[in-house]
Amino acid sequence: MKKKLRIFIIVMKHLIKKILREHTSWQPSDDKKWELLDKDVKYIVERLIERHKDNWDGDEYAVISAIEEIFDGMFQRIDR
């Protein structure tokens, strides 16, 4: 099941990139900046979870929920 999901995600990423290339000003360098940001965010969030999960009874999902609440409070929702 995990393998099928992984393949699905890869295919969807490819299709999304193809659509972006055709309909926007997407550049190949955009992939790199998103990959770098993704890598950094994952690294930081993993460290935050590890550092604070003991304060949340070892519940990593509770830490993730708390992080989401903090982000919601930091950034106003803007209607587009």
pLDDT tens, position by position, for the chain (80 residues)? 566 666 767 767 776 776 666 666 666 677 788 888 888 888 888 898 899 999 999 998 898 888 888 887 777 666 65
pTM above 0.85, yes or no: no
How high is the pLDDT of residue 1? 52
Q: Can you give the residue ranges of every domain in the chain?
A: 2-74
Instruction: Give CA–CA dist 51/72, Å, rounded.
Output: 21
Q: For the range 21-25, what are the long-range contacts, defined as Cβ-Cβ under 8 Å and sequence gap of 24 or more?
A: none
**pLDDT confidence of residue 54:** 96
